[in-house]
A and B are shown apart, each in its own frame.
Chain A
């Protein structure tokens, strides 16, 4: 739920609650006020009428008294007590043709020893009409309130929250390995500036940690090369010594194999570091078919049956050596993890290179085969860096690399984006 929706929802809830309370309260309050006013009016009318009655008594013309006001009436009473009371009664009004509520003030009094009942009436506001008008007015108020709040919030979201959404977008696009730091605009709102400052500090810390680690990897692989070179050259000199028996030759051969593995590891790590550091700036248009053909030429084609289907020959904008490493690694895997008398099928269609091979039964762990140093086989020659390098190069150029187990074949797919 967006922030705006959330605030509007709260406002709406509050407004409805408020209305539910204010409608009955207004109703009662207005009712009480109207009744008090009516009562006051009734008392005033009665006072005037009483004054007139007293004059009539003094002049002895009580029986012939009449009132101009229709709402005032005087008649002899049965009740000898003297009292005064207010009552409510619904009376049919012949003029408007409906029953209307009326307020009545009855005053019973004795004049010349005879009881009289003075009755003063006044119409009251129709209760239904009152409720209706109050609800109507309040509803209009609610609508106006909500529209106003919505407009204000929308404006706030657009103006005040704008830097927040901008920062959010920048943060979403931020990558630790990008060369420039996280750039966030200054805002007029202090909270956003605080947030931006914290974000900058956080990304800067993460970035420096990342760079330190990257530098360490780079330095470590760089520093390995000299001792490795010494080791390898000494072994070569050892090979030339005379006499050399079979046992010694075997040991030297083993050492040579190990040093070669170390050299390959070194080479792969250096390559990964260089890709990370984007040290392959030179790109050129390369025919994919030519690269695949060249890489296939260095494979031991006789050991498996090779099927090729080059329907298209897309032009790829990339660094040539990276392209060759990428295709070479994929082909190498197809051969390395194959079975005796197996099959390798290489297909180029549209802008896709698919390399399929027979191998061990069942799919490989899709999540892990592209991870560094994950080894699917126990083959000592396998470093677990071939596919990570493929993926890294793919990521560099925005190409998709994927694996699937289709029809008993391990299929690696490289989808080259149209602009790459």
Chain B
């Protein structure tokens, strides 16, 4: 799996690469539009993480180029939160997803995973992890063939954890994932705790092993 990260802020691209490398992705970095164009000409990337504001031009330029070659799918746009039009323009140009800065690496990772699942395994819409069977299409979870009656939020929570397995995901990242990108974000974790408690209880009742660990109150980890 090959991923191109187009980001002119070196420290940020280094962070992204460091996080994604552990998913066994091959990561390339471009910090300008021209070098990104060079790279997209040479390789067929599974996913491109594209920052819109670049030093030598606009990320949309690259996106337009990709669209003319029908390769715009697989692009996740990174953009400033205050530019409303970026989201609309980007998605209209064929980008798959949109994330505004600052973002959580676990969130980016989950989005990339979802994107690659959609692109690569179009027939297979399931995620299997030992006894855990996640049907992404029907949004249901079964353990040993028994259906675990999860709510929509609990399902999203489990998927988020599984997408970042063996990583510590901060409580803030999870809370933000649950509440979505609305302005009213959570600083109160009661909501998260109660969902997490219910999820663990339901999985345990269905006979699933306890994969979800709390890490010193800092966050959660789906351990193998």
Contact = CB atoms under 8 A, between A and B. Distances in A.
Interface in A36-88: none
Chain A at the B interface: mostly helix, strand, loop or mixed?
Answer: helix
Contacts of A131: none
B217 A228 contact: no
Interface stretch (A18-26, A105-113, A151-159, A250-258): A250-258
A267 B183 contact: yes
Given A225-B81, A230-B11, A300-B190, A328 B183 contact: yes
Contacts of B106: 236
Q: Which of A225, A236, A303, A381 has the most CB of B within 10 A?
A: A236
A280 B85 CA distance: 10
A244 B180 CA distance: 30
A283 interface: no
B216 interface: yes
Nearest to A279: B84
Nearest to A235: B170
Contacts of A95: none
B25 interface: no
B145 interface: no
Contacts of A222: 80, 82
B67 to A, nearest CB: 24
A225 B101 contact: yes
A406 interface: no
Q: Which of A232, A249, A267 has the most CB of B within 10 A?
A: A232
Contacts of A221: 82
B162 interface: no
A257 to B, nearest CB: 7
A234 interface: yes
Contacts of B105: 233, 236-237
A271 interface: yes
Nearest to A253: B218
Contacts of B11: 230, 234
A264 interface: yes
Given A237-B105, A270-B82, A274-B82, A252 B187 contact: no
A200 interface: no
Contact of A271 (B16, B102, B183, B194): B183
B12 A300 contact: no
Contact of B215 (A249, A257, A271, A332): A249
A257 B219 CA distance: 11
A261 B185 CA distance: 10
Interface string B1-44: 00000000101100110110010000000000000000000000
B81 A228 contact: no
B80 to A, nearest CB: 6
Nearest to A233: B15
A273 interface: yes
A15 interface: no
A259 B176 CA distance: 13
A267 B186 CA distance: 13
A298 B179 CA distance: 7
A325 B183 contact: yes
A142 to B, nearest CB: 70
Q: Which of B171, B188, B190 has the most CB of A within 10 A?
A: B188
B218 A240 contact: no
6 contacts: A226-B101, A233-B12, A236-B104, A246-B216, A260-B187, A329-B183
Interface of A: 218, 221-222, 225-226, 228-237, 239-240, 244, 246, 249-250, 252-253, 256-257, 259-261, 263-264, 266-268, 270-271, 273-274, 279-280, 295, 298-300, 302-303, 321, 324-325, 328-329, 331-332, 335-336, 381, 389
Given A236-B19, A239-B168, A264-B185, 18 more contacts: A228-B102, A229-B103, A231-B102, A232-B103, A233-B102, A234-B15, A236-B15, A236-B105, A236-B106, A239-B219, A253-B216, A253-B218, A256-B170, A266-B102, A267-B185, A271-B183, A325-B183, A329-B183
